[in-house]
Amino acid sequence: MKQLTFALFLLFISNSLIAQVFIRNGEYIVISAINERVLDVAHEKKDNGVNILVWDHTGNDNQVFNMNFDETGVFSLIAKHSNRSLSVLNNDTRDLSNIVQMDYTKSAGQLFKLEPVGRTDMFKIVNVTSDKALTVDPSSGNVILMSKIAEDGSNGNLNQYWRFSQRISFANTKSKRYLDVPNGSKESGVKLQIYDGNNGKTQAFDLISVANSEDYYIRSVASYKYLGLPEGRLTAGIQVEQQDFTGATSQRFQLEGVADYTYKIVPSGSNLALDIRFQDTKNGSAIVLDAQQPTSSQNWIMYDYNPQRKSDNAKQLKKEIKDAGKAAGSKVVDTGAKAVEKTKEIGKKAKDKLKKLFK
């Protein structure tokens, strides 16, 4: 009986670790699902007590937050422009409590966890102490603390759902042209192309980390559609298109570094990469999959997307987020991977123990 209890205890620990949710440590914009606006420190102020709200994306540092997880999946959000922490005012646990920025003290009102929203790329941001969620007040746009709303498949709880993104543009190193959604079409099935840089939303993409994974979803800012493959086909020569979100493996990608700020965009679990069809560098050339090879047509430079940028001279190069934390002086720890490894280790011990019990 003691052996069985111990084995079940190990399984309980394993399940608890699996429930922990991590994404990459680093800098993010945090996008509200209710209106596609982003977390914002009001008026770019640096003082304690300034309200957190949602606002149109401007590219300014008061909309950029650094998050770093501890080994339990708990994190804080630190505003880049002020180095102050997103906080529940006075560590309050009641509904309607204001969310503000304050000096970072690791207080209860500054500690949060992620709860994935089923069958989406979104999360609830939940205060560890109160177990309540960051919520957009639809009347003011301010962010407040509210009891979690049950997931029922409706849009009634979108004001508690968030995406964590790097908002970037991809420039092809061979053509010097950008990954582009033709005419900003919002239709599913539209094929991606390259086109001259214009700093428009048709060339802006949200690089969204997949929980507990090295993968990303890539979402168009113009259409809110996701890069994917027709019928999920991982085949050389297939054209890359935009699709409604499904969460399928064929909508998941990894970045493989080839030089500073330069990456291959690789469908998860494949040896293929995004390429220009026939290596044709003209405007409108299609994006296809091809076997990975050392060709510049498969290499993409990442730039921060800033809607206020007036010329290419103002472009800011962007590294993948697992490197961005180092540049900011923070220690990047792959806590998610550690948790997964620990889960595997504990799970294996528990399974071995159960096998012995029931031989």
Domain boundary among 160, 177, 197: 160
Assess if residue 16 is contained within a domain. no
| Whether residue 317 sits in one domain with residue 171 | yes
| Whether residue 112 sits in one domain with residue 59 | yes
What whole-number distance in Å separates Cα of residue 143 and Cα of residue 37? 12
| Whether residue 239 sits in one domain with residue 180 | yes
Closest CA to 10 of 352, 277, 358: 352
The half-sphere exposure of 37 on its side-chain side, counting CA atoms within 13 A, is: 20
| Whether residue 76 sits in one domain with residue 193 | no
Domain count, the chain: 2
Assess if residue 202 is contained within a domain. yes
Assess if residue 254 is contained within a domain. yes
| Whether residue 221 sits in one domain with residue 103 | no
Residue 323 belongs to what H/E stretch?
Answer: helix 321-327
51-80 b/e (C-beta count within 10 Å ≥ 16 → b): bbbbbebeeeebbbbbbbbeeebbbbbbbb
Assess if residue 7 is contained within a domain. no
Residue 274 belongs to what H/E stretch?
Answer: strand 272-276
Residue 16 belongs to what H/E stretch?
Answer: helix 2-19
Q: Which domain holds residue 68?
A: 26-160
Assess if residue 342 is contained within a domain. no
Domain boundary among 104, 129, 160: 160
State the residue for tokens 């061979």.
Answer: 174
Closest CA to 324 of 302, 351, 357: 302
Residue type, 222: A
Domain boundary among 111, 129, 160: 160
What whole-number distance in Å separates Cα of residue 52 and Cα of residue 35? 16
| Whether residue 240 sits in one domain with residue 315 | yes
Helix (H, G, I), strand (E, B) or coil at 20: coil
Assess if residue 275 is contained within a domain. yes
Which residues in the chain show pLDDT less than 70?
A: 1-19, 152-154, 310-314, 322-359
| Whether residue 290 sits in one domain with residue 209 | yes
pLDDT of residue 296: 98
**Is 340 exposed, middle or buried (CB count within 10 Å of its CB: 0-12, 13-18, 19+)?**
middle
| Whether residue 184 sits in one domain with residue 297 | yes
Angle (deg, nearest 10), helices 2-19 and 335-357: 160
Contact assessment for residue 10 and residue 49, using Cβ atoms and an 8 Å cutoff: no
Assess if residue 355 is contained within a domain. no
| Whether residue 123 sits in one domain with residue 32 | yes
Closest CA to 23 of 215, 211, 252: 211
| Whether residue 233 sits in one domain with residue 269 | yes
| Whether residue 187 sits in one domain with residue 303 | yes
Closest CA to 192 of 253, 249, 248, 120: 253
CATH number at residue 64: 2.80.10.50
pLDDT of residue 316: 80
| Whether residue 172 sits in one domain with residue 156 | no
Closest CA to 83 of 65, 60, 69, 68: 65
For the entire predicted model, the pTM comes to 0.85
pLDDT of residue 312: 62
Question: How many helices (DSSP H) and strands (DSSP E) are in the chain?
Answer: 3, 24
Please give the structure tokens belonging to residue 142.
């301010």
pLDDT of residue 328: 34
Assess if residue 354 is contained within a domain. no
Closest CA to 205 of 226, 177, 235, 176: 226
Residue 36 belongs to what H/E stretch?
Answer: none
pLDDT of residue 141: 98
Contact assessment for residue 82 and residue 61, using Cβ atoms and an 8 Å cutoff: no
